Structure 1
Amino acid sequence: MTRNSCIVVGGGIAGLMTALHLQRRGEQVTLIDRWEPGHARAASTDYNRVIRAISGRDEFYTRWARESRAMWLEMQAECGLNLMYECGALILATKGHCDWEDATADTFDKVGVPYYKFTRDEVRARFPQFKVDEIDYALFEPEAGLLMAHRCVLAGLDLFKRAGGVVKRGTVTTDAQERPMLDGAPLQADLIVIATGAWMSEMFPRTIKPISAIMGINVLYTSTPDGSDQFDMENMPCWIDHGQGSFGIPSSEGSGVKAAVVIPNTPIDINNDERLIEKASLAKTRQYIRHRLPGLEGQRVVDSKFNQVILTPDTHFIVDWHPEHENVLFAGGCSGHLFKHGPVFGDFVAGVAVRDYGTADRFKITGRRKLSPKESPSGR
């Protein structure tokens, strides 16, 4: 069997998992990144990420999340590292605005995802960390939890190298025809996969930029109270709080409690901006903590992250061929919820790349439109 020469550009979770699965399919893969894989500018950085199947009415992502969970556990066993902690995920349904949560429960019933539906009083009894006065109910997914994001990237990189993959440092750009270039010359390979996250937009101004937006995400880590383990992952779940535009993760491996308040349309210059938390976000996050997690009020911020995500109008991923270059495949899109899908996403992209099958309609470049919160898998 003839091996294809494959170049994957971008060493975040999308590119890394694609490179790993291509290499395991018998291809010869070179992974190229501008910086060291796991670097602080990547959307795949940070200590941890939520993994959950909660996706509203969208059965596709619900099934993918469950499949990906199994693949993460297999990868964890293979590398012998703690990649995933199943502390569960709590989705808080704000009274009068529960369409996405109602749809999630219906989808879980169809797909067979284990979950509980808690009343407000049951949430107070089981998870007293949360103040839930305006909550109508909550869904609890016990087999959800968190991924140790940075460790997952490094573990995947090690598996890729052990499988025979090659990692190189370099800056890939494009010319006026959007051909990938390295050191002033076109990239030469049977297959080129572009998985550069937010940088995909500026690299492909005609193809990707019109269907994408870049947004900064501010994340704060707050210390847990002295002498208390109430906010540790053994006693507290991850949570999603659409009514407040927020989500968070309990303290894991001493990180502190992670809380993010999404401020819409937060601009970021991905090449020139410092990765520093914004004062407005600091104030809003502290206000949110007072409202939702009163037991953390007055605790000090111990760490922060400011990163970027690339968003498509429908919040679906992009897995599609460049319309003018038949060996160039895009892989990425909605990095706001890609990490948890990493292994199944990479396996799917690898199959599209070697043309075992075509891509899904939802992943194609054309036909993109903004979805209503009721339709969107992300609820936004």
Structure 2
Amino acid sequence: MPGKSEAIVVGAGVAGVMTALELARRGERVTLIDRWEPGHSRASSTDYNRIIRAIHGRDEFYTRWVREARLRWMELQAEIGQTLYYECGALILATRGHCHWEDATAETFDKLGVPYYRFSAEETALRFPQFDTSSIAYSLYEPEAGMIMAHRGVRAGLELFQRAGGTVARGHVTTDAHERLHLDGKPLEADLIVVASGPWMGEMFPRTIKPISTVVGVNVLYTSTPDGSTAFDMANMPCWIDHGEGSFGLPSSEGCGVKAAVVIPDKIDLDNDERLIRRETLSRTRRYIQKRLPGLVGERVVDSKFNQIILTPDTHFIVDWHPEHSNVLFAGGCSGHLYKHGPVFGDFVAGVGLKEYGTADRFRIAGRRKLSPAESPSGR
């Protein structure tokens, strides 16, 4: 379209793909660049599935965003003609003596009108017999929640971006000592450059992003369902969050097995480490399964994923301009909870990039501080 600016998006994970899609739909000339094929297994936006839930403690901003993102995912699903969203619900288990975040979530849901149920430990066990509820005080069940098929969602967004006239390119984007961007050694130039490189963002911008970010690895295991049983399938079991145990999981979907993660941050060298889980994770996860999911005791691990996320001190995203390069916009800092927000996040970043509005204060680079679990939108 004549008069439109040229935009480049660096990084083809969910943040980059959804931002590129929204820029293209606004009529911009957009090129999406990644080092590898979009949807590749090194990315943070890989794996089979992700939980989508409005559970965010007292944080109304993200709660509203997820409610909108859920509708956007449904629209994308209808547009692409593929299943991207399964509404199997989400269960948050409130451990005795560790309920501040769950209490705050219930208050936020009441205020914003988000549908949910509150169950006692006994009621939870009756409704969801897969879980041992002996250590919980209560649970919150969000029926309008579930899972997004992660790899498929990125690929669907990529296809829609290309249908909208976007260009996909392969290349290695780096920075020099002044944090100026280069593509395969040559200066990268455009009216707007959105950097959505996920955990690589800190390495690329050691002065600007690295001081407010940490990269951690996350080990995820998939366990087989019992012979002849449908109890752990998504038709009968919800996704769940278990902050008291530092864990979360998803029921078996499309035959992949039950996904369980014990969130003990691990180290990773992004460019040199293999994407293989640590062997000690097996025992940690099996101990968790023995405590919380006794019906899976003795079942075999059938798959595993080793992923990485970039954490900010307050677990808020980053959507802000580079302090020295006025055409460079950062988009990411996912802190493990960006994927579900994908379509809304991309729309917001596109609007900031085109100067339709400014960014939110919580997304700015400056002023970051560690939040207490009660304040944090992620409960961490």
TM-score, length-normalised on structure 1? 0.99
How do 1:335-374 and structure 2 match up within 5 A?
A: 335-374=335-374
Using the TM superposition, give the Cα deviation of residue 335 of structure 1 relative to its aligned residue in structure 2, in angstroms: 4.0
- Which residue identity does 1:69 align to in structure 2? R
Alignment partner of 2:298: what SS?
coil
> 1: distance between equivalents of 2:49 and 2:183?
32
Residue equivalent to 1:315: 315
Residue equivalent to 1:250: 251
- Which residue identity does 1:160 align to in structure 2? F
- Which residue identity does 1:164 align to in structure 2? G
Residue equivalent to 1:40: 41
Residue equivalent to 1:85: 86
Alignment partner of 1:76: what SS?
helix
TM-score, length-normalised on structure 2? 0.99
- Which residue identity does 1:19 align to in structure 2? A
Residue equivalent to 2:284: 284
> 2: distance between equivalents of 1:248 and 1:135?
17
Residue equivalent to 1:55: 56
Aligned-CA RMSD value: 0.6
> 2: distance between equivalents of 1:234 and 1:261?
24
Gaps of 5+ in 2: none
> 2: distance between equivalents of 1:157 and 1:17?
8
Residue equivalent to 1:178: 179
Answer whether contact 1:51 1:145 (CA < 8 A) is retained.
yes
Answer whether contact 2:220 2:304 (CA < 8 A) is retained.
yes
> 2: distance between equivalents of 1:223 and 1:371?
37
Residue equivalent to 1:192: 193
Using the TM superposition, give the Cα deviation of residue 112 of structure 1 relative to its aligned residue in structure 2, in angstroms: 0.9
Answer whether contact 2:316 2:335 (CA < 8 A) is retained.
no
- Which residue identity does 2:162 align to in structure 1? K
Residue equivalent to 2:333: 333
- Which residue identity does 1:199 align to in structure 2? W
Gaps of 5+ in 1: none
> 1: distance between equivalents of 2:296 and 2:49?
20
> 2: distance between equivalents of 1:156 and 1:260?
26
How do 1:1-380 and structure 2 match up within 5 A?
A: 2-264=3-265, 266-380=266-380
Which is worse superposed, 279-288 or 215-224? Answer: 279-288
1:153-185 CA deviation, whole Å, 9 max, x = no partner? Answer: 111000000000000000000011101101222
1:282-336 CA deviation, whole Å, 9 max, x = no partner? Answer: 1100100000000000000000000100000000000000000000000000240
> 2: distance between equivalents of 1:373 and 1:183?
42
Using the TM superposition, give the Cα deviation of residue 138 of structure 1 relative to its aligned residue in structure 2, in angstroms: 0.1
Alignment partner of 1:214: what SS?
strand
Alignment partner of 1:146: what SS?
strand
Answer whether contact 1:129 1:293 (CA < 8 A) is retained.
yes
> 2: distance between equivalents of 1:237 and 1:374?
24
> 1: distance between equivalents of 2:276 and 2:243?
25
Which consecutive aligned stretches of 4+ in structure 1 deviate over 6 angstroms post-superposition?
Answer: none
- Which residue identity does 1:77 align to in structure 2? A
Using the TM superposition, give the Cα deviation of residue 281 of structure 1 relative to its aligned residue in structure 2, in angstroms: 1.2
Answer whether contact 1:197 1:335 (CA < 8 A) is retained.
no
- Which residue identity does 2:295 align to in structure 1? G
> 2: distance between equivalents of 1:282 and 1:191?
45
> 2: distance between equivalents of 1:69 and 1:152?
13
> 2: distance between equivalents of 1:321 and 1:154?
27
Alignment partner of 1:198: what SS?
helix
Answer whether contact 1:43 1:335 (CA < 8 A) is retained.
no
> 1: distance between equivalents of 2:337 and 2:302?
25
- Which residue identity does 2:367 align to in structure 1? G
Alignment partner of 2:24: what SS?
helix
> 2: distance between equivalents of 1:72 and 1:7?
24
Q: How many residues align?
A: 379
Alignment partner of 2:16: what SS?
helix
1:189-208 CA deviation, whole Å, 9 max, x = no partner? Answer: 00000000000000000000
> 1: distance between equivalents of 2:75 and 2:248?
27
> 2: distance between equivalents of 1:283 and 1:332?
32
- Report sequence identity in percent: 74
1:340-378 CA deviation, whole Å, 9 max, x = no partner? Answer: 000000000000000000000000000000000000000
- Which residue identity does 1:214 align to in structure 2? V
> 2: distance between equivalents of 1:370 and 1:262?
18
> 1: distance between equivalents of 2:184 and 2:202?
20
Using the TM superposition, give the Cα deviation of residue 279 of structure 1 relative to its aligned residue in structure 2, in angstroms: 1.3
> 1: distance between equivalents of 2:16 and 2:155?
13
- Which residue identity does 1:347 align to in structure 2? D
> 1: distance between equivalents of 2:179 and 2:335?
22
> 1: distance between equivalents of 2:37 and 2:186?
22
